[in-house]
Amino acid sequence: MDIIVLKPSATEEDIRHIVKKLESRGLRVNISEGTERTVIGVIGDTSKIAEEEEDAIRVMPGVEDVMRILKPYKLASREFKAEDTTINVRGNIIGGKKIQVIAGPCAVENRTMLMSIAEKVRDAGASFLRGGAFKPRTSPYSFQGLGEEGLKYLAEARERTGLPVVTELMDPRDIEVILKYADIVQIGARNMQNFRLLLEVGTRDKPVLLKRSFSATIKEWLMAAEYIMSRGNQNVILCERGIRTFETATRNTLDLSAVPLLKQLTHLPVIVDPSHGAGKWDLVAPMSKAAVAAGADGLLIEVHINPEEALSDGEQSMKPAAFKKLMEELKPIAAAVGREI
Amino acid sequence: MDIIVLKPSATEEDIRHIVKKLESRGLRVNISEGTERTVIGVIGDTSKIAEEEEDAIRVMPGVEDVMRILKPYKLASREFKAEDTTINVRGNIIGGKKIQVIAGPCAVENRTMLMSIAEKVRDAGASFLRGGAFKPRTSPYSFQGLGEEGLKYLAEARERTGLPVVTELMDPRDIEVILKYADIVQIGARNMQNFRLLLEVGTRDKPVLLKRSFSATIKEWLMAAEYIMSRGNQNVILCERGIRTFETATRNTLDLSAVPLLKQLTHLPVIVDPSHGAGKWDLVAPMSKAAVAAGADGLLIEVHINPEEALSDGEQSMKPAAFKKLMEELKPIAAAVGREI
Amino acid sequence: MDIIVLKPSATEEDIRHIVKKLESRGLRVNISEGTERTVIGVIGDTSKIAEEEEDAIRVMPGVEDVMRILKPYKLASREFKAEDTTINVRGNIIGGKKIQVIAGPCAVENRTMLMSIAEKVRDAGASFLRGGAFKPRTSPYSFQGLGEEGLKYLAEARERTGLPVVTELMDPRDIEVILKYADIVQIGARNMQNFRLLLEVGTRDKPVLLKRSFSATIKEWLMAAEYIMSRGNQNVILCERGIRTFETATRNTLDLSAVPLLKQLTHLPVIVDPSHGAGKWDLVAPMSKAAVAAGADGLLIEVHINPEEALSDGEQSMKPAAFKKLMEELKPIAAAVGREI
Amino acid sequence: MDIIVLKPSATEEDIRHIVKKLESRGLRVNISEGTERTVIGVIGDTSKIAEEEEDAIRVMPGVEDVMRILKPYKLASREFKAEDTTINVRGNIIGGKKIQVIAGPCAVENRTMLMSIAEKVRDAGASFLRGGAFKPRTSPYSFQGLGEEGLKYLAEARERTGLPVVTELMDPRDIEVILKYADIVQIGARNMQNFRLLLEVGTRDKPVLLKRSFSATIKEWLMAAEYIMSRGNQNVILCERGIRTFETATRNTLDLSAVPLLKQLTHLPVIVDPSHGAGKWDLVAPMSKAAVAAGADGLLIEVHINPEEALSDGEQSMKPAAFKKLMEELKPIAAAVGREI
C-alpha cells in the first residue's frame, strides 16, 4: 500500500486522473479528505509499482508527495521468512549459535605467507580463511592481486587446515574461476550495487558474503541482497564494514546499531568486519567485542604475519598473537549473549 | 611543529617572506628541498599559532598547504596526562573500575513520575539519576521543561534514593540555579560548541558531562573539552550519543569506535548514550552491551514508566522492567572486559 | 493529518487503544484496510500533535510507523504566506528585485582596518557591512573578538559609509548591547539550534540573519526560523553557508540547491555565504556567481584588506580589488535572472 | 615527498629501522628534530610508494602519522598538463569555449519516444543525445533497459538528428556492443570504482564520461580518472551529479564548488548533471544556470516527452518545452562568464 498526498490546490480532475492511472494497474484507492490535505490510499499489491512509477506519480498534477508503506524488498525480509536463515559451509553453520570467525590476510601475497597465516588463525580458533586474489584498489599503481595463482594457494591452505575459503569476486568474467576455488563468494563494498555481479552470483547456489557499501543505507543493502535472492540464491550473508561519515579519525564509522536493527528486518545472518570499519589494528579487538555483544553472527578479521610488509591494508591487520588473545577474550562475551565461539 | 608545503612555482622571495614572518613570532625553520616540492618545517611551540594564523600562512604567496603535526588540544590529551582521570561524585567514581549507569527520564514531567522512576532505576542498579528541567526542543510548540520546579523534584528524588543528579544547562543565565541542584552539569549535543556556556562551566568546579554534537569530529569534541579545562575545571566526562550520517533507519549512528579511540587520545572518562544514539528503545539493550564491551566507563539510559505518555523521546525510552533485565545482562560483559557494574 | 501504519500483527484491541487516544485529543480517524497493511489516517489539526506525541504513538502496541503529512513549521511556510517577505533595512530592501551584498571582515580587528574595508566595499557596490565583535572560535586560544569596542567601530563605519551593519549575537546576555548597534542581528551556524537565543531575538523586531547550521536539514533550519517567528518577529533572513559532508577538499559543501528549494517552501528571503561555504578565497567568485544564478536574494562575502594578517578566516577572505571585480561580473548574471545588483 | 611524524616515545632504533626501510626503496631522508616531535622528510619519487606501503610505514614502531604531500594522481593533474584538455566528438568540442549540452531520456524506452525526444532536444540546441540501454536499477523488479535494441535506436536517432550519442557501460562483457554504437561511453556513478570497467575503457580510445560516485571524494574521483588514463585513454570527461549527505529534501546534494576546484586541480573537462543532483525537475533549471555560472563545460540533462509515463527517473525529467526555455535562459549566463551555448 502506498499513500499519495495531494496539494491543497489539487482539483477534482487531478484526482480523477490519478485514480484512473492507478486503477489501470489493477489497484484500488481509498480517498480520505482531511481538514488540510486530501490523501489517496492505494490498495493492492503495490510491490508491483516499481520506484520509477512512484516517481511518475510524483510528477502528476496535484500530487505533493508519495509515501511508500511496504518495504521495497520482500525475500530478504523477516516478514516473509520469520525464522533465521542458517548457511552450512562444509559443516560450519553461519547464523546459528556459534559465532563464526573468518580470518586471514587482506590479499594473498605469496604461498608461504598464506600457509603460515592459515595455520595460525586455525590454531587460534578461526573457522574460515579469507584472502583476496583479485583486489579492488583505489590506485592503478597499487598491487592488484595474484589472480588464479592466489586462488590455488587458498585451496591448498584449505586442504592443509580444513578451513573453508572466502574470497572476492570483482568481475562477472571471473565467476567460473572463483567458483572453482571458493566456498563463499565475497561481493566487496564497492561492488554492492554492481548489479550485473549480483545477478551473476544470484543464479548460482554458492553462499555469498555481501559487504555493505560504505555509502549504502540499510534499505539499499537489503535491496542488493534481494537482487541476489530474486535470482534464486537464498544463501546471503550480510557484512557490516563501516560507513562513510564526516569523521576522519577512523577510516570509516562502524555502524554496529545496524546489527540489532537487521536482526529485526531480515532473517539473513549478519557479520561484522571491524578491520575495515575502524581501519586501525588497535581498534579491532574492542570493536570485535562490541560486535559480538551487539549480536553479530560472525566476524571478518584481517590477520597478517608482518603488517609492516603487507602489500595492502597493513594498518588494519592484527598479528597472529593479538588475534589469538582476542579469540580468548571473546569467549565470555559470546557466552554473555547466549552464544559460543 | 607545523609543515608548510610550497608550490613548485614558489620563488626565493616567497620563501624569505614566509621565513621572516615565522621568525617574527619566535619560531625557527628547517627548509628541506625534495625533488618535487620544497617543505618548510616550523620548529618551536606552534601551539601558539592559532588556527587563524595557519589560515593566514595558507594565503601567503608560494604556499600550497599547511599541515599541523601537533594536536590542537593539550590539557585534554593523553600525552599531557598519562593516567586516567577519575571523578568522584558523592562517592561514585566515574572513570574507575565500576561502570557507572546514569538513568532516568528524558524530561522531568511531574513529581510523582520522577519519584517512581528514580526508585525503580536505583533498585535496578543505576548509580545516577538523569532528568531534564530545561529542554532544548526542535519545535517551539513542544514541551520546554518545568524549569526550577523540575530541579526541585530532582533534588527531592536524590534525597529519597541517594542517587546524585545529572541535568542539562542550556543558557548561561541559568548557571546558578542549575549549580544549586545538580551534581553533574550536562552540556547537550546542540550546545557542544556554545562557547559561552563552555566558558561558564569551565570557571566552576562542578563535573561536566559533555555530549558530543551529532556533527562534531572527535577533534572538535576534544577542543570543546579543552575550552572547559582551559578555564580551570578538569572534571569533564565525554558522552558519545551518535552522529548524523546519511543513514535514516536509526535516528543517529552511534559511533562506538570513538570509545577505544578516545581512550588512546585522552585521559578523560568516556560514557555512551545508546538511547539517543539509536533512537529506538529496542536497540538500547544490544547497544548498551556493545558499549560496555568496547570499553565505555558508563552509560546514560532513558527510562520512563510509560513511554506512551512521555512528553519527549518516548520512542527511545526503556520501561523499568527492561532496564532491570539489561542491568543483569550487562554484568558478565563488564566482567569479561575486567570491569564491574 | 498524520498516517499511522499498523503492523500485520496489530489486533483489534490495539486499534481501539490507538483510536481512543487520538479521539481524546479531539482528532478523528479514517481506518483503511489494505491487503498487506492497515493504515489509520488522523484527521484534524495534527500540528497540535508535537513530535514527542508522535514518538509516543510510535511505541504503542501494533504500530509500525507514523508518517507526518503536514510540515512541522507553519509561519515560515509558503503555504501560510504566498507572497515573498521583503525586509526594509534603512531603505535597503532584502528579498526584492535588488540582490543585496553584505561584505566586510570576519572579525572587527581594529578601527583603522574596519574603516578602510567599509569604504572599499561601499565603493565596490556592497549595501551592508558585516563584522563580528563577539566571535565563536573552536579554540579557546584563538582571538575572541573586541566586544563592545568592536560594535562601536561598526557604528562609526556605518556613519561614515551609510552601510547598515550586520553582526553576530552569541549569548542571550549580550542582546541589549547588540541591539544598540546592529541593524541586522546574525545568528551563527553553531547557534542555529540555540533555542534560548532564538526566543530572545524572536521577541524583538530587529531583522535576524539566521545562518544554517552545517549539520541542519532544511526542515530543521525552517523550524529554527519558526522558533523566532512564533515569538512575533517575522523579519527572518535565511543564509546558506555550506553543510558538513564527507568531502574534505572544501571546508564545507555549499548546498546551492537549497536556494530554489527554499523559494518553494518558504516566503522568507534567502542569501548565500560563499566564503564559509567554500573556505577558499579563490572559489568565492565562481560560487557567488552560481548563487545569483540559482536565485539567491543576496550574498554575504568576507573581504579583508590583508588576508595574511587576518585574525580569523584569512583563507576565505577576498581582497578589495577582487571583490570589486566580482561585483562587476555579477551584474550580467543578475540581469540574466531578472534581478539587479 | 612524504612526511613521517614520530611519536615522542620513538627510539633511536625505531628511527634507524624506518630509515633503513626507506633507503632500501631508493629514497633519501631528512630528519628534523622539533621541540615536541621529530619528523622524517622522505625525498625522492614517493609516487612509487603506493598507499599500501604508507599503511605499512604507519604501523612501524615509533610512527605516529604519515602525511602525503604529493597528490596520488599524476596524469589527471593540472600540474602534469597545464593546458585544458579538449575532446572533439564528431566536431563538437568538449572543454572549449562552447558549453555542450547532453540531453535525452534516462532510459531508452521505445523507438518512437526516443526519435521524438532526440528531435526536440536538437531543435532546442542540445549537442549530444543521452539515453541508457543498460540501466543500473536499485530494485531487481525495475525496468532494466532494452539492451542492444536500445543502442540501435540511439544510432538511428543520431543519423536522423546528427547528435552524437552518450550511453552507459555497466558490464565489461558489453564493451564491444557499446563501442559499436556510442560516441561517448558513460561510466555511471555506481561504477566509478568498478576498477575492471575502468581498465576496460582505459585501453580504448573512445571518450569516457566518468560520473562521480555519490560517495566519492574529489581525490577518489580523480584517482578513477587516473585509472583510465594510466591505460592510455586520455579522453576523460568528469561529471558532477550530486553527493550523498544527511539532507533528504533533495535526492543528492549537488556539489557545485567541485567545478571551480576541479578547474584548479585538473585539465580535464567538467560537466554537471543537475537532474540527478537535485532529483526534482523544477530544480533543474536554476541548478543548470548555477552550474554554468560556476564554470562548467557542459550539462547533462534528462528530458522526457511525458515524465508521467517514464519508466525511470520521471521525477527529475524536464519536458521539451521547459528544456527549450532553459536553453534560451542559459545564453546570457554563458556570455557573462565568457562562454557560449
Note the CATH architecture for domain C2-68. 2-Layer Sandwich (3.30)
CB contact under 8 A, B142 and C220: no
Rounded average pLDDT over D160-186: 96
List the domain boundaries for chain B.
2-68, 87-336
Q: Express each pLDDT in B229-264 by its tens digit.
A: 999 999 999 999 999 999 988 889 999 999 999 999
DSSP calls for A203-262:
TS-S-EEEEPPTT--HHHHHHHHHHHHHTT---EEEEE--B--S--SSSSB--TTHHHHH
Q: Is pLDDT at B143 greater than 90 in this prediction?
A: no
Beta strands B208-211 and B184-187, pairing class: parallel
First and final C-alpha spacing in chain A: 43
Taking the C-alpha atoms of residue A238 and residue A230, their distance in angstroms, rounded to an integer, is 16
Q: Which of A30-44, A127-141, C149-163, D205-219 has the lowest mean pLDDT?
A: A30-44
CB A32 within 8 A of CB A43: no
CA atoms of D270 and C286, how far apart (whole Å): 14
Provide, as residue numbers in chain B, all residues whose Cβ is less than 8 Å from the Cβ of C244: 215
H or E element at residue D93:
strand D92-94
- Closest Cβ opposite residue A1 in set C36, C244, C248: C36
Q: Write the residue in B264, B287, B333 that is nearest to A333 by C-beta.
A: B333
- Residues from chain B that touch D44, judged by Cβ atoms under 8 A, are 34-35
Q: What is the mean pLDDT of residues A299-304?
A: 95
CA angle C329/C335/C336 to nearest 5° reads 95
Q: What is the pLDDT of residue B265?
A: 95
Tell me what pLDDT residue B48 has.
Answer: 56
Comparing alpha-carbon positions, the chain D residue that sits nearest to B42 is D34
Q: What percent of chain C is helix, strand and coil (3-state, nearest 5)?
A: 40, 20, 40
In the predicted structure, residue D41 carries a pLDDT above the cut 90? no
* More reliable by pLDDT, C18 or B184: B184
d(CA C263, CA C295): 8
**Euclidean distance between CA atoms D35 and C231, whole angstroms:** 55
Share of chain B above pLDDT 70, in %: 95
Choose the most confident range, by mean pLDDT, from A52-56, B267-271, D105-109, D131-135. B267-271
The shortest CB-CB distance from A3 to any of C3, C35, C244 is to C3
Report pLDDT for A51. 61
Q: What is the mean pLDDT of each run of 10 residues along chain C (341 residues)?
A: 84 90 83 82 68 74 84 90 96 97 94 96 97 83 86 97 97 95 97 94 96 96 95 97 92 95 97 86 94 98 82 77 96 97 94
Specify the CATH number for B87-336; select among 3.20.20.70, 3.40.50.2300, 3.40.190.170, 2.10.240.10: 3.20.20.70
Q: Which of B30, B45, B65 sits opposite D32 (nearest CB)?
A: B30
Inter-chain contact A35–C41, Cβ cutoff 8 Å?
no
Flag whether pLDDT at B133 surpasses 70. yes
Contact list, C190 vs chain B (CB under 8 Å):
193-194
Q: Over the stretch A152-197, which tens digit does the pLDDT of each residue have?
A: 999 999 999 999 999 999 999 999 999 999 999 999 999 999 999 9
SS3 at position D92: strand
Q: Which pLDDT score is estimated for D3?
A: 85
Among the partner-chain residues D1, D35, D245, the one whose CB lies closest to the CB of B39 is: D1
Do the Cβ atoms of C315 and B172 come within 8 Å?
no
What are the chain A neighbours of C245 within 8 Å (beta carbons)? 246
How many angstroms separate the CA atoms of C287 and C98, rounded?
19
Residue of D nearest to A53 (CA): D311
Taking CB atoms and an 8 Å cut-off, how many pairs form between chains A and C?
62
pLDDT beyond 90 at A100: yes
Q: How far does chain D reach from its first CA to its final CA, in angstroms?
A: 43
Average pLDDT, chain A: 91
Nearest to D196 among A170, A199, A220 (CB): A170
- Residue in D37, D70, D245 closest to B246 by CB: D245
Residues in chain A within 8 Å Cβ distance of B282: 260, 264
- Inter-chain residue contact B287 with A260, CB threshold 8 Å: yes
Q: Count CB pairs under 8 A between chains B and D.
A: 62
- Grid coordinates of C243: 553543510
pLDDT given for residue B148 in this prediction:
93
Helices and strands (H and E) in chain B: how many: 11, 14
Task: DSSP for C269-312, please give it.
Answer: -EEE-HHHHH-SHHHHHHHHHHHHHHT-SEEEEEB-S-GGG-SS
Question: What Å distances lie between residue D257 and B294, C239, D240, D261, D294, CA to CA?
Answer: 39, 17, 10, 6, 8
Q: What residues of D are in the B interface, CB distance below 8 Å?
A: 1, 3, 5, 8, 30, 32, 34-37, 39, 41, 43-45, 65, 67, 69-70, 79, 244-246, 248
CA nearest to A189, candidates D227, D226, D73, D190:
D190
- Neighboring chains of A (3 or more beta-carbon pairs < 8 A): B, C, D
**ipTM surpassing 0.90, yes or no?**
yes
Q: A319 to chain C, minimum CA–CA distance in Å?
A: 31
D217–C337: do the CB atoms touch at under 8 Å?
no
Measured in angstroms, the CA of B92 and the nearest CA of chain C are apart by 30
Cross-chain Cβ contact C287/D336 below 8 Å: no
Pick from A255, A260, A295: which is nearest to B253 by CB?
A: A255
Question: C79 to chain A: which residues are within 8 Å by CB?
Answer: 8
Q: CA C283 to CA D114: how far, in whole Å?
A: 39
Instruction: Say if the Cβ atoms of C55 and B312 lie within 8 Å.
Output: yes
Task: Say what percent of chain A tops pLDDT 90.
Answer: 67
Of the partner residues C217, C258, C290, the one whose CB lies closest to the CB of residue D248: C217
Q: Is the pLDDT of residue D289 over 70?
A: yes
Distance of alpha carbon D132 from alpha carbon D110, whole angstroms: 11
Which of B71, B245, B256, B264 to mutate to test binding with chain A, by most A CBs within 10 Å of its CB? B256
- Residue B260: closest C-alpha in chain A: A283
Chain A residue with CA closest to D315: the answer is A55
CB D208 within 8 A of CB D228: yes
B173 to C170: CB separation less than 8 angstroms, yes or no: no
Would the pLDDT of D220 be above 90?
Answer: yes
CB contact under 8 A, C141 and B59: no
pLDDT of residue D150: 95
Residues of A in contact with B256 (CB under 8 A): 254, 256, 287, 290
Residues of B in contact with C143 (CB under 8 A): 50, 52
Around B236, how many Cα atoms within 13 Å sit in the side-chain half-sphere? 31
pLDDT of A110 reads 92
Identify any residues that bridge with C101 across adjacent strands, giving them in sequence order: C299
Angstrom distance (rounded) from CA B21 to CA B13? 12
The residue whose grid cell reads 569506535 is B257
If phi > 0 it is left, if psi is from -120 to 50 it is alpha, else beta; for residue B64 that is alpha
Neighbouring chains of D at 3+ CB pairs under 8 Å are: A, B, C
Quick one: closest CA in D to A231, which residue?
D140
User: Residue C290 is nearest to which of D215, D250, D294, comparing CB atoms?
Assistant: D294
Q: CB-based contacts of D285: which residues, under 8 Å, 6+ apart?
A: D318, D322, D325, D326, D329
Cβ <8 Å between C256 and D256: yes
